Amino acid sequence: MGNKWIIRGGKFAVPGSDKPVIDGYMVIDNDLITYIGEEPPVLEEDIPSFDGSRLLFLPGLVNTHGHAAMSLLRGYGDDLALQVWLQEKMWPMEGKFTGDDVYWGTALSVLEMLKGGTTTFLDMYDHMDRVAEVAEASGIRAVLMRGVIGLCPAEVQDQKLAEAVAFAKEWHGKASGRITAMISPHSPYTCPPDYIEKFVQAAHDLDLPIHTHMSETRREVEQNVTDYGLRPVAHLEKLGMFTRPSLVAHGVHLTDEEIETLARHQVGVAHNPGSNLKLASGVARVPELLKAGVTVSLGTDGPASNNNLDMFEEMRLAALIHKGVSGDPTAVPAAEALLMGTEYGAKSVFLNQVGRLAPGMKADFIAIDIDQPHLLPHTDLISHAVYSASAKDVEHVWVDGKQVVQHGKCLTLDEEEIRRKAQEAFEDLLKR
Amino acid sequence: MGNKWIIRGGKFAVPGSDKPVIDGYMVIDNDLITYIGEEPPVLEEDIPSFDGSRLLFLPGLVNTHGHAAMSLLRGYGDDLALQVWLQEKMWPMEGKFTGDDVYWGTALSVLEMLKGGTTTFLDMYDHMDRVAEVAEASGIRAVLMRGVIGLCPAEVQDQKLAEAVAFAKEWHGKASGRITAMISPHSPYTCPPDYIEKFVQAAHDLDLPIHTHMSETRREVEQNVTDYGLRPVAHLEKLGMFTRPSLVAHGVHLTDEEIETLARHQVGVAHNPGSNLKLASGVARVPELLKAGVTVSLGTDGPASNNNLDMFEEMRLAALIHKGVSGDPTAVPAAEALLMGTEYGAKSVFLNQVGRLAPGMKADFIAIDIDQPHLLPHTDLISHAVYSASAKDVEHVWVDGKQVVQHGKCLTLDEEEIRRKAQEAFEDLLKR
């Protein structure tokens, strides 16, 4: 019984190891990888075989920060000053989002992510039950949380917190464990200190990690100092956030001391290079963060500030911009960028069985077609995955041992319906 | 007689105009666009019709700086200090390149470029007859030149100059005008002043424009000051280069005064954002160049320092990095990035009938499939082309009115043979 099979003749990426590309075999038993190596495994039974030639297998990509439903606003307001973009474009439209809008926007994004090789995504938004529905149906692995903005009366605050807690209780561990939950006050600038403390307490009570936006713009850092006399890292430390396992998004504007504090508390940083550049937030100090031992992972942020969910592009941006800005061509080498998009990503969202091709790990992996002009000659496949490939090179995707994308087609979602519904949802939002 | 046809129901990108996307019709008569508009044209005869629905038509992309044959070294040495990369990796291998290596490396690159929507490329390399052969056979439009390094004895210098002149004489205007030539001393740091003056004279004699590398790294600028007492712009101005129509590649390290000088002489700048970041050369002052009225176009540079030839990625990088580095989210908006990749590119390589969808222009255009998750909803298609699309979204490509890519397949080149030969050429280089 069970579903055991073998990939033969494939190339398997193991970035960061002595031999970063294994030319050989991988065995999958239900949801787990049970063997990977250059020698054929000893098999006691006849099991189905998958031809791995022309393919490079990579761990599924892990997108550690985003707001998937915002795909409905992709291209609706670009090249604008941040406040104009938020106040005149995003917030008025998001204010009109119904649960159905969130459902179809998220479905559009999950479809894009799966087809592009992302097997795990973090999502912080509203109407999270609808997001969880998409995650469950699509087969993707998801780390979900109600992101709460606390600029509202106390009773509304309490209600939102209760919603966030109820969502986490209901969905944590669901979908055969593919869905996990976190607790998420939106940011220090949208949640008063005492409100953040309530989230920290809730995270303790539920034994869940915390995610928040932090130090994305210079202006918000300055405002934090004005309002609370502390920069965001010290502020959140004081509020007890880092007594919980934590992941902060952005961390663009950090001092050396703040980097040390994050490292000491083992706080992960979700780096969003595309979004940070597009919104002109700045360039995060990624080489310094990595050097200090901080786990830096990669996120796309919402599709309206990116404007796609191609994690290959985020890996490439991470590998490119820190070289160009620091003047050091050895900064963030290809293998490290690939680790940021896979293993470090999994670690950042507290999934210790995901992000690496190794026996005992969950069978979340993807295959890209390497017999294409832009991926030849086969000099260094780790380099090609980071510097030359894109989401559209993904041929097959498996999550939890189940194939969800085959020859570029999503097997779990109705692509045509989602495309049509997402377009209709946007047109309807314009009218409302 | 003739080959006249019409595209119906398409969307046509006209960046920079009041109505940047025309929803309607385009008529092509042999090598020319003869009509574009929202109303159906008055046709005197029955002509073949092409269904443009689900497609966004764009001018073909123009890659204004590169060394196509270096695709053979893609991924062969990354994340290294510039001098190590050049001296230990690139130069020893390039020194072994035969005409056949250049042929197959160029073929691999032209295949990648055509499939990715690039309809014109500039190439500066050696064995240029072989590059021209590929250009002629593939149907691509090409601006070709022997790039000459002058760090050699006088008689070798003379021979190389003679080669560059002979190539230009033989190939300028060939392949039904698809191939044009330029004159190209490699750079101020690889060509002594008197040698550069000979190239300027040759360009005058042949009535051809000039292309050179300039101010790519801080170090080369400082060396120029040490050697000649002038920064590179003043140095080249003094040598008379800018009395010819000129295009310089990179222009990363420029003072305000240098930018003014380039603008005054109408010198174009080929901006290579991917390569400049990867080699840690720095970030060119593109917003200032554009503001000063300099024509800034986009190049991939060689595939070994990029590491692909996806011009959508270069447009996106141009639109993203200058926002992030300057802190101004309105810097290099999407339409301007698209102009840099098309119309400004054509202007930079002195092709005045290319780069725009308009009556009287050459029929060099591409179609991308916009009915895909990452290109929905259809909010702003110019934004989607720049911020969300990639080379792999290109469905069809026409150059000079002839279709060269259909449903993603190149019609003019033997892809399978090129892939195999390029891989073999690299393996053979390792052995030699």
Are B37 and B176 contained in the same domain? no
**From B335, which residue of chain A is nearest by alpha-carbon distance?**
A79
Mutate to test the interface with A, among B21, B74, B415 (most CBs of A within 10 A): B74
Q: Does B94 show up as a binding residue in the annotation?
A: yes
From B329's Cα to the closest Cα of chain A, the distance in A is 5
> Which of B295, B323, B348 is the last residue before a domain boundary?
B348
From A254's Cα to the closest Cα of chain B, the distance in A is 16
**From A384, which residue of chain B is nearest by alpha-carbon distance?**
B75
Residues in chain B: 432
Are A337 and A380 contained in the same domain? no
Position A429 in a domain = no
- Determine whether the interchain pair A330/B79 forms a contact, defined as Cβ–Cβ distance below 8 Å: yes
From B92's Cα to the closest Cα of chain A, the distance in A is 16
**Token pair belonging to B131:** 């590059």
Evaluate the CA torsion angle B213, B216, B217, B223 in order and state its sign: positive
Cβ within 8 Å of residue A16, ≥6 positions away: A335, A336, A339, A343
- Range(s) of the domain holding residue B49: 4-59+354-410
pLDDT at B13 over 80: yes
From A237's Cα to the closest Cα of chain B, the distance in A is 28
Annotated binding site of A for Zn(2+): 65, 67, 213, 301
Position B422 in a domain = no
The total domain count for chain B is 2
Task: Please tell me the distance from the alpha carbon of residue A55 to that of residue A370, in angstroms, as a whole number.
Answer: 6
- Determine whether the interchain pair B323/A112 forms a contact, defined as Cβ–Cβ distance below 8 Å: no
Count Cα atoms within 13 angstroms, Cβ side, for A112. 34
Task: Please tell me the distance from the alpha carbon of residue A14 to that of residue A23, in angstroms, as a whole number.
Answer: 11
Mutate to test the interface with B, among A53, A54, A74 (most CBs of B within 10 A): A74
Position A416 in a domain = no
Position B237 in a domain = yes
Q: Which of B226, B225, B237 minimizes the C-alpha distance to B196? A: B237
The bridge status of strand A55-59 relative to strand A61-63 is unpaired
Are A388 and A271 contained in the same domain? no
The CATH number linked to A140 is 3.20.20.140
Position B54 in a domain = yes
- Determine whether the interchain pair B307/A276 forms a contact, defined as Cβ–Cβ distance below 8 Å: no
The CATH number linked to A22 is 2.30.40.10
Residues in chain A: 432
* pLDDT tens digits, B150-200: 999 999 999 999 999 999 999 999 999 999 999 999 999 999 999 999 999
Count Cα atoms within 13 angstroms, Cβ side, for A239. 26
Q: Which of B365, B408, B391 minimizes the C-alpha distance to B36? A: B365
- Determine whether the interchain pair B78/A387 forms a contact, defined as Cβ–Cβ distance below 8 Å: yes
Q: Is A153 helix (H, G, I), strand (E, B) or coil?
A: coil
- Determine whether the interchain pair B426/A384 forms a contact, defined as Cβ–Cβ distance below 8 Å: no
| Contacting residues of B for A330, CB less than 8 Å apart | 79-81
Position A370 in a domain = yes
Mutate to test the interface with B, among A84, A118, A217, A307 (most CBs of B within 10 A): A307
The position carrying tokens 């035969």 is: B98
From A331's Cα to the closest Cα of chain B, the distance in A is 7
Annotated binding site of A for substrate: 94, 146, 186, 216, 301
Are B372 and B399 contained in the same domain? yes
* pLDDT tens digits, B122-161: 999 999 999 999 999 999 999 999 999 999 999 999 999 9
* pLDDT tens digits, A102-144: 999 999 999 999 999 999 999 999 999 999 999 999 999 999 9
Residues forming a β-bridge with A212: A248
Q: Which of A46, A90, A58, A59 minimizes the C-alpha distance to A72? A: A90
Q: Which helix (H) or strand (E) holds A345?
A: helix A343-348
Return phi, psi of residue B34, to 5°. Answer: -115, -15
Position B220 in a domain = yes
**Token pair belonging to B44:** 């005197």
Q: Which of B313, B320, B341, B332 minimizes the C-alpha distance to A313? A: B313
pLDDT at A1 over 80: no
Are A235 and A370 contained in the same domain? no
Are B200 and B254 contained in the same domain? yes
pLDDT band at B2 (very low <50, low <70, confident <90, very high): low
CA angle centred on A424, ends A423 and A428, rounded to 5°: 120
Return phi, psi of residue B323, to 5°. Answer: -65, -50
Quick one: how far is CA B300 from the chain centroid?
Answer: 7
Q: Which of B51, B57, B59 minimizes the C-alpha distance to B8? A: B51
| Contacting residues of B for A392, CB less than 8 Å apart | 390, 392-393
**From B417, which residue of chain A is nearest by alpha-carbon distance?**
A373
pLDDT at A307 over 50: yes
The position carrying tokens 């303790």 is: A204
Q: Which of B268, B257, B309 minimizes the C-alpha distance to B69? A: B309
**What share of chain B has pLDDT > 90, as a percent?**
98
Are A379 and A248 contained in the same domain? no
- Determine whether the interchain pair B324/A391 forms a contact, defined as Cβ–Cβ distance below 8 Å: no
The position carrying tokens 């209901």 is: A170
Q: Which of B365, B386, B364, B388 minimizes the C-alpha distance to B376? A: B388
pLDDT at B43 over 70: yes
pLDDT at B1 over 80: no
In this structure, are residues B12 and B26 in contact, taking their beta carbons and an 8 Å threshold? yes
Are A44 and A186 contained in the same domain? no
Quick one: how far is CA A257 from the chain centroid?
Answer: 27
Return phi, psi of residue A44, to 5°. Answer: -85, -10
The average pLDDT across A355-366 equals 98
In this structure, are residues B353 and A401 in contact, taking their beta carbons and an 8 Å threshold? no
Q: Which 3-state string (H, E, C) describes chain B?
A: CCCEEEEEEEEEECCCCCCCEEEEEEEEECCEEEEEECCCCCCCCCCCEEECCCEEEEECEEECCCCHHHHHHCCCCCCCCHHHHHHHHHHHHHCCCCHHHHHHHHHHHHHHHHHCCEEEEEEEECCHHHHHHHHHHHCCEEEEEEEECCCCCHHHHHHHHHHHHHHHHHHCCCCCCCEEECEEECCCCCCCHHHHHHHHHHHHHHCCCEEEEECCCHHHHHHHHHHHCCCHHHHHHHCCHHHCCEEEEECCCCCHHHHHHHHHCCCEEEECHHHHHHCCCCCCCHHHHHHCCCCEEECCCCHHHCCCCCHHHHHHHHHHHHHHHHCCCCCCCHHHHHHHHCHHHHHHCCCCCCCCCCCCCECCEEEEECCCHHHCCCCCHHHHHHHHCCHHHEEEEEECCEEEEECCEECCCCHHHHHHHHHHHHHHHHHC
**Residue pairs spanning A and B at CB distance below 8 A:** 211
Residues forming a β-bridge with A210: A183, A246
> Which of B348, B378, B393 is the last residue before a domain boundary?
B348
| Contacting residues of A for B377, CB less than 8 Å apart | 72, 74-75, 422-423, 425-427
Peptide bond into A3 cis (omega under 30): no
- Determine whether the interchain pair A377/B279 forms a contact, defined as Cβ–Cβ distance below 8 Å: no
Per-residue pLDDT, B81: 85
**From B80, which residue of chain A is nearest by alpha-carbon distance?**
A330
Task: Please tell me the distance from the alpha carbon of residue A112 to that of residue A312, in angstroms, as a whole number.
Answer: 13
Position B149 in a domain = yes
CA angle centred on A97, ends A425 and A416, rounded to 5°: 30
Per-residue pLDDT, B44: 85
| Contacting residues of A for B308, CB less than 8 Å apart | 374, 387-388
User: Is the ipTM reported for this complex over the cut 0.90?
Assistant: yes
Are A49 and A78 contained in the same domain? no
For A335-422, list the strands marked E by DSSP.
Answer: 365-369, 394-399, 402-406, 409-410
Cα of first residue to Cα of last residue in chain B, in angstroms, is 53
Q: How many CB atoms lie within 10 A of CB B423?
A: 18
**Token pair belonging to B51:** 């269904």
Quick one: how far is CA A317 from the chain centroid?
Answer: 15
Q: Which of B45, B393, B369, B121 minimizes the C-alpha distance to B34? A: B45
Q: Does B213 show up as a binding residue in the annotation?
A: yes
Task: Please tell me the distance from the alpha carbon of residue A157 to that of residue A151, in angstroms, as a whole number.
Answer: 8
* pLDDT tens digits, A239-276: 999 999 999 999 999 999 999 999 999 999 999 999 99
* pLDDT tens digits, B211-224: 999 999 999 999 99
Are B19 and B94 contained in the same domain? no
Are A170 and A21 contained in the same domain? no
Quick one: how far is CA B102 from the chain centroid?
Answer: 18
Are A118 and A24 contained in the same domain? no
Annotated binding site of A: 65, 67, 94, 146, 186, 213, 216, 301
* pLDDT tens digits, B51-107: 999 999 999 999 999 999 999 999 999 999 888 998 999 999 999 999 999 999 999
Q: Which of A367, A364, A339, A358 minimizes the C-alpha distance to A116? A: A367
> Which of B348, B368, B399 is the last residue before a domain boundary?
B348
- Determine whether the interchain pair B307/A331 forms a contact, defined as Cβ–Cβ distance below 8 Å: no
| Contacting residues of B for A63, CB less than 8 Å apart | none
Of B108, B276, B392, Cβ closest to residue A324: B276
Cβ within 8 Å of residue B173, ≥6 positions away: B179, B180
- Determine whether the interchain pair A74/B274 forms a contact, defined as Cβ–Cβ distance below 8 Å: no
**Token pair belonging to A318:** 């991470």
Evaluate the CA torsion angle A351, A352, A356, A362 in order and state its sign: negative
Q: Which of B230, B235, B226 minimizes the C-alpha distance to B197? A: B235
From A176's Cα to the closest Cα of chain B, the distance in A is 27
- Determine whether the interchain pair B274/A320 forms a contact, defined as Cβ–Cβ distance below 8 Å: yes
